[in-house]
């Protein structure tokens, strides 16, 4: 009964929050030119029209696939090289310039540089990987740094196998940082991928739809596609949280 009342309260609060921002959006639209800032109703009509088209779902699926590829590759590489850098100081120093560059260079620069040298269909995925990798990599190193060095020294003294040290000491320390990095990477990777689609003018992508709406001055279409982008981003984040909560990594690597 208490869980039901809590869910009802959260739904009520969510509705009120959505209502507040929708009203604010409607006030701004009515105070300005509705052609420049479409109202929620006009945007909703265009959004409904998009949802009734089969091509819309293909476009969304293609963009989601690019994000998924970027996340899987970026997370995989970040974990592999993060662990190697945590174990070996030379690997850490070797990747330090690359990490500094990826943190310092704006995403737009990455997109333009990639667009100059590789096929534009690969630009969104590569850009997502470049932004995802350093987040995972640095968080893995943070997890390594949090391990008690006295326990590590004691393990070497008693000649504990290194694989067991990884499994029993390093992994439990790394996992919270890894999960936080994955959740952060999802949002950043999604935004970077869509931005790359817009700048590279990639046919059949959500970014291209936004660019077309801007060129054709169909601002209601721009807003409608933006709503779909927000929905997709929230969906990926919720699925990621669900996966992290259900897989049960913590129990698997629990120190006993």
Per-residue pLDDT at 133: 93
- Closest to 176 (Cα-Cα) out of 138, 140, 149, 152: 140
- pLDDT profile of the chain (256 residues), mean per 10: 65 82 84 80 88 89 90 92 88 91 87 88 90 92 76 65 68 82 88 88 87 86 91 86 70 43
Per-residue pLDDT at 73: 94
Q: How far apart are CA 256 and CA 250, in angstroms?
A: 12
Per-residue pLDDT at 74: 92
Per-residue pLDDT at 255: 38
CB 194 within 8 A of CB 127: no
Please name the residue ranges forming H helices in the chain. 2-31, 40-51, 54-87, 89-104, 107-117, 123-145, 149-157, 162-165, 171-199, 206-215, 219-247, 249-252
Per-residue pLDDT at 256: 38
pTM over 0.75: yes
Per-residue pLDDT at 243: 80
Per-residue pLDDT at 254: 42
């Amino acid at each position: 009964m208490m869980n039901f009342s809590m869910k009802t309260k959260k739904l009520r609060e969510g509705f009120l929050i959505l209502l507040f921002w929708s009203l604010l959006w409607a006030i701004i639209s009515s105070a300005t030119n509705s052609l420049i800032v479409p109202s929620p109703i006009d945007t909703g009509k265009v959004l409904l029209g998009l949802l009734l088209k089969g091509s819309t779902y293909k476009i969304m699926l293609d963009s989601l696939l690019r994000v998924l590829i970027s996340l899987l590759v970026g997370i995989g590489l970040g974990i592999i090289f993060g662990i190697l850098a945590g174990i070996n100081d030379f690997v850490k120093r070797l990747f330090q310039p690359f990490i500094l560059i990826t943190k310092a260079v704006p995403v737009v620069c990455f997109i333009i540089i990639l667009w100059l040298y590789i096929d534009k269909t690969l630009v969104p995925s590569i850009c997502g990987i470049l932004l995802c990798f350093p987040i995972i990599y640095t968080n893995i190193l943070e997890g390594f740094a949090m391990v008690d060095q006295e326990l590590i020294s004691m393990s070497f003294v008693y000649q504990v196998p290194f694989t067991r040290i990884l499994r029993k000491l390093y992994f439990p320390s790394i996992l919270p940082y890894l999960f936080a990095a994955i959740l952060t990477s999802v949002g950043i990777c999604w935004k970077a991928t869509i931005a790359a689609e817009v700048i590279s003018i990639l046919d059949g992508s959500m970014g291209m739809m936004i660019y077309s709406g801007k060129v054709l001055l169909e601002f209601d279409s721009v807003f409608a596609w933006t709503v779909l982008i927000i929905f997709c981003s929230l969906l990926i984040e919720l699925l990621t949280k669900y996966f992290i909560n259900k897989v049960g990594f913590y129990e698997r690597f629990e120190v006993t």
